[in-house]
Structure 1
Amino acid sequence: MATEHRTIPILIVFLMLALMIPATVMAQQGGDCRYGYIDVQRAIDSSRSGSQAIEKVKQEFEQKRKVIEERKAELARVKERLDSNLGTMSESERKRSVDMYNVDLLNLRNFVEDANRQLEAQERTLTSRIVSEISALVHQYGQENNYCYIFELKTSGILYANEAQDITSIIVRLYDQQQNGRNSRR
């Protein structure tokens, strides 16, 4: 799955997040506040929920890949038989056989495109929930720990960031704890 598909929703969420942590916090708290950043993709990839979501998509991908490979192999066998028998077929048989092969080929292409769309939609659905939950957690963490701004590293345009300002590991730890609490209450 291409990371470009994940970048747009992440950018939107974290731009909204940056707007939700207002500069008035600095004024309310005497002007002494902190700045930090989070690598959302790393947070998704390293959190338990994110790892599970990624694994689920990978399993679905592998199942679809197997079906596609089987259908491609069958189509290759049909083409081979068709090519070897073209000289012995009547014009109408040849046309019918070629038409059937082309329909099967088109069906396979459509199946591949549908499978890709389904996997991308599934990935977006799973990761958007996680991004939303992480966003809320970052907001809460920022308020509780006197942050003026918390940026998303990859989409914010930051060219350099001191690693001491990276709160990704903290957020992942808090997120996993939050998810464990939710799972234990179920």
Structure 2
Amino acid sequence: MATKPKPFRILGLDLSITSPGFAVVDVKKNTPVLVTTAHFTTAAATPQALRYEEIEAFALLFIRDHMPFDVVVREIWPPSRNYSLNNKVHGAWSAVDRALLRYGYEVDTHYIPSSVKLSIAGAGNAKKPEVAQGVRNILGLEDDYAFKTDDHSDAAAVALTYCVREKLITIGEDD
């Protein structure tokens, strides 16, 4: 009996200190399937170091529940002149990196926001609703499919960018 080919699994990350987003996308026979999306909201009143620990704990459980992954991809933060913003984003990255490393993973690929927007919505300056619609289109979801937050659709967009860039799927062509 022949074994079925297993799907290629991508973990997409759209990280911030306020609401990091996570998405898992499987690809089988050039078709992407959204497995799940999630986000975790931290409270601004919580000390910054504790917010990182909360993000790490959420990521640890999310990773455990949805692995194994073939690749982990993250949207990269363009450097800001505001140290505080850089510090917060890099702290969230570090929190998720620690969770990934516990299970033997690390981020394999980074994409700048304009690359994600271009790959998914067709324009490097696309707005969040256009990115969400691009994600729905690529995944074959109904137009009224509502992502819980932008963090969900953004994380899925990061995962799908990998699919497009690595030619695991093709978009914009009739079958």
TM-score by length of 1: 0.24
Structure index of larger Rg? 1
Structure having the larger proportion of residues in strand? 2
Query: RCO greater where, 1 or 2, for CA within 8 Å and sep 6 or more?
Result: 1
